[in-house]
Amino acid sequence: MRIEIVVFDGFDDLDVFAPHEVLQQATADRPDWDVRLVGIDGPATVTSARGVVVTVPEGLGEPDGVVVPGGPWRDAGSGLGAEIARGVLGARLVALAPRLRWIASVCTGAMLLAAAGLTSGRPAVTHHAALDDLAASGALVRPGERVVDDGTLVTAGGVTSGLDLALHLVAREIDPETARRTAEFLEYTPRIDLGAAART
């Protein structure tokens, strides 16, 4: 399985690095898994919301799963807001969706999916500050949930929920025991039921 985590100028740091850490750790001994950070349009050097400079050698390709991070979304001139306004990533995800096992978002990454019409009429969650906007887009908002799994759409709440999102995906795509071992290694106590993840 190939998972691509998309980065762009102004992405929230933990939205990217938390799931990346979990997924890399969980699949380190699985050669059939490949977890990558990618740009939107191709190779890129981007700066996170907290000033971390990241260089990626490739753009969004033909993965099995995609993770979209969040960031500031209301300002169309910067961060996630600029990517929503540009529309390129949203259009690419819409085109890829029929071939993907799933699209996942962390925090306000759900707002980009909403702008692309990918959450309309579907259960979803995002950062508490964006819940009203997500609901206004037509999503069936699930306040208070850490991770909402609707099969081909998996969304996670606020910033730290990226850890639970990734553990959920590990439990679902591999098995709950691998997710539990990964959480134990990272010294993190999941705030979700990993056994339930495997049954979705």
What CATH superfamily is the domain 2-103+160-195? Class I glutamine amidotransferase (GATase) domain (3.40.50.880)
Residues acting as catalytic residues: 107
User: Where are the chain's structural domains?
Assistant: 2-103+160-195
Q: Tell me how far apart the alpha carbons of residues 65 and 153 are, in angstroms, rounded to a whole number.
A: 10
pLDDT tens, per residue, the chain with 200 residues? 999 999 999 999 999 999 999 999 999 999 999 999 999 999 999 999 999 999 999 999 999 999 999 999 999 999 999 999 999 999 999 999 999 999 999 999 999 999 999 999 999 999 999 999 999 999 999 999 999 999 999 999 999 999 999 999 999 999 999 999 999 999 999 999 999 876 66
Please, what sign has the CA dihedral across residues 159, 64, 170, 20?
Answer: negative
Distance of CA 172 to the CA centre of its chain: 15
Q: Within 13 Å, how many C-alpha atoms sit on residue 49's CB side?
A: 18
